[in-house]
Chain A
Amino acid sequence: MIELSNVEKVYQTKEIETLALNQINLKIEKGEFASIMGPSGCGKSTLLNVMGLLDMPSTGSVRIQGEKVTNRKETKLAEFRNQNLGFIFQSFHLVNDLTVYDNVEMPLLYRKGISSKERKERIMSVLEKVGLSARVHHYPSQLSGGQKQRVAIARAIIGSPEIILADEPTGNLDSRMGHEIMDLLMELNKEGTTIVMVTHDEALAQKTNRIIRLFDGSLVN
């Protein structure tokens, strides 16, 4: 599903060169729920960004669904992300001036050929799935942390992506909320969605199919 070969990521400034990822060779299978763990600054988020095509590797290649996606043009990458990837972030990244409905709708705005009727049906369906159908017209400021993350999950799955990349999705939530969100992700995984999740929480990581450990930009296994 996702295949990284000899991936290296180097951040270069005038003074220093930082090797964020070092010779990463990794394969995430279809339907897998993998978690990435490691100490702060070890390159977890960078690895997730490379998988999510938000960042390009300095060397090496990334294949998603068998297609080599590195070196694609920016517009093609954006289109690919929209069609195949869903993102969940620790700080939710909801647009505060838009309602729950509008936030969830956002990925569909960048996808052609969806009628407004279909869009509405899809939004209502995913909001029901995450248990927020009663909060359609609320603004993010009117929601709890857990509800915000549910909105973010609804937004991630609205486009029916095969892969969800979650960067510490429970990091800003209390334990109970965190487990609720984890249950929701596991449910999505059961339905066939491949999930890669960065986490610091060992207990949550244990619930996933595989734990990928990183240290100083290298895989540790």
Chain B
Amino acid sequence: MKQIFKLIWNNKSRNAILILELLGTFLLVFGLYSICTMFYMNFKEPIGFTYDDVWMIDASSPEDKQIDQKILKTLPEYKEIEKATMMEGNTPFMFRYWRQIPRYKDVKKPVITFDAEDDFRDIMSLNVVEGRWYGSEDNASKLRPAVINQAFQKDFFKGENPIGKELELTERDNVIIVGVIDNFKYGGELTFTEPQLFIRTLYREPLDLPYDVRQRPSVWDNNMQGTAGDPIFIKLKKGIGKEFEQQLVTSITQEFPGTNVIVKSLPEMRESNMGTRLIPTAVLLVIVVFLVINIFIGLFGVLWYNISTRSAEIGLRRAIGANTLEIYKQFITEMLMVGLLGMIPGLLIAIQFPLLNAFDLDGQVYYVAMALAFATVSVLIVVCAYLPSRQAALVDPAIALRQE
């Protein structure tokens, strides 16, 4: 091994391009595996809600800013609809990341926030693990009731029971936590769990409550409220098919002329979301495959060249006692060492990602990706080195030793 390392080290300038190529490939493969590992780990975590019979109605009118609420009020008339609700903030399967920054004691950080009605839990089948979802029993509450997810509980309460605790949203707005759900991966299976906060919002009945049920952040009000309404979600009764979609659109536009209505099923939205999330990964995959092919050709070329220039050395090694297996092993080991010279700097770069908590990802994602990238590049080297090394092992010592 020592001698092989010396051989590689003394030829480092000749192998420099190959080492750089391997470093680049390692980093790209690491990047690809980081994304894949992140997706896999996210995918393993339950999505936390059901969407099979849920549709979204997106209505807008240039003349009526309240069109969404008006439509919502008409929806109980449809026998096909089991329940309907409206929400604000982060729409399932769409790329929205509306966050507020609540504070509890010393912990203050951005969390994904939903302004959701009482029926939202039933429509999405959210799983309450502690306390309860908010509802009419909170009408007498002095503070806006809110529900958090377990990630929120972990980050803000660290083992403390969150039920009944107050959170400061703004200086004039506190909420009280009434329950904890396990999770609501509204961005789809491939997204990771973030701390989430659901705040009770009522769109339909202007109840005289001690708290403002439509209290929204001013930025949201100024920028978002207007022609586009908030999305409405409907849960359909069992057995209702796609034909109801057109019927619903026609019915709404007849009742509210001039309204633009789009109805989408959540499974369709999920599929589209999944595709959009996977496109960058697919692009990276193509780049990595291209580079891997380049490396394959590069390794092949370098090895063939090595063997042609070192056949006398191979002949000598055979003469002094090396068998074919030992020659074969030597060339594979040499290439693996060249690979190591490329991968060690790669590992040093890669280790910075978990150390610096890059992209807010779990460190495990990076460690798994590092191990996989290391194994992949090593396997690639062995595969590339196999044929040329075999060729070296088959060198006839008597012929090779005749070469000067």
Contacts and interface: CB of A to CB of B under 8 A. Distances in A.
Interface of A: 45-46, 49, 52, 54-55, 74-75, 78-79, 81-83, 87, 89, 91, 93, 95, 97-98, 102, 105-107, 109-111, 155, 159
Contacts of B320: 81-82, 87, 106-107, 110, 155, 159
A51 B323 CA distance: 18
8 contacts: A75-B324, A87-B320, A93-B312, A93-B316, A95-B316, A97-B6, A109-B3, A111-B321
B114 to A, nearest CB: 66
B313 interface: yes
Nearest to A106: B320
B402 A95 contact: no
B153 to A, nearest CB: 60
The main secondary structure of chain A at its interface with chain B is helix
For the complex of A and B, 9 pairs with smallest distance between CB atoms? A82-B321, A110-B321, A78-B323, A97-B10, A55-B398, A107-B320, A75-B323, A54-B398, A49-B398
A91 B404 contact: yes
Interface residues of B, number: 24
Most A CB within 10 A of own CB, among B3, B402, B404: B3
A79 B3 contact: no
B302 interface: no
B398 A78 contact: no
Most A CB within 10 A of own CB, among B321, B323, B398: B321
Nearest to A93: B316
Contact of A102 (B3, B316, B404): B3
Contacts of A106: 3, 316-317, 320
B39 to A, nearest CB: 46
Interface string B290-326: 0000000000000000000000110111111111111
A132 to B, nearest CB: 18
B397 A54 contact: yes
Interface string B1-16: 0010011001100000
Nearest to A155: B320
A97 B321 contact: no
B321 A81 contact: yes
Interface string B42-62: 000000000000000000000
Contacts, number: 70
Contacts of B249: none
B321 A78 contact: yes
Contact of B318 (A45, A78, A102, A111): A78
B390 to A, nearest CB: 14
Contacts of B81: none
Contact of A95 (B313, B318, B321, B397): B313
A55 B396 CA distance: 8
Contacts of A55: 398
Contacts of A83: 321
A166 to B, nearest CB: 12
Nearest to B9: A97
Nearest to B316: A93
Contacts of A97: 6-7, 10-11
B401 interface: yes
A110 B402 CA distance: 22
The main secondary structure of chain B at its interface with chain A is helix
B3 A98 contact: yes
Contacts of A52: 319
A78 B3 contact: no
Contact of A74 (B312, B323, B402): B323
Contacts of B313: 93, 95
A94 to B, nearest CB: 9
B402 A45 contact: yes
A62 to B, nearest CB: 14
Most A CB within 10 A of own CB, among B11, B320, B323, B401: B320
A87 B324 CA distance: 19
Nearest to A152: B316
Contact of A89 (B317, B322, B401): B401
Contacts of B402: 45
Interface in B1-41: 3, 6-7, 10-11
A200 B401 CA distance: 19
Given A54-B397, A54-B398, A93-B401, A107 B6 contact: no
Contacts of B401: 54, 89, 93
A110 B318 CA distance: 10
Contacts of B398: 46, 49, 54-55
Given A49-B398, A93-B312, A93-B313, A79 B321 contact: yes
Interface in B320-338: 320-326
Contacts of A75: 323-325
A75 B11 CA distance: 30
A93 B317 CA distance: 10
A105 B3 contact: yes
Contacts of A45: 402
B98 to A, nearest CB: 63
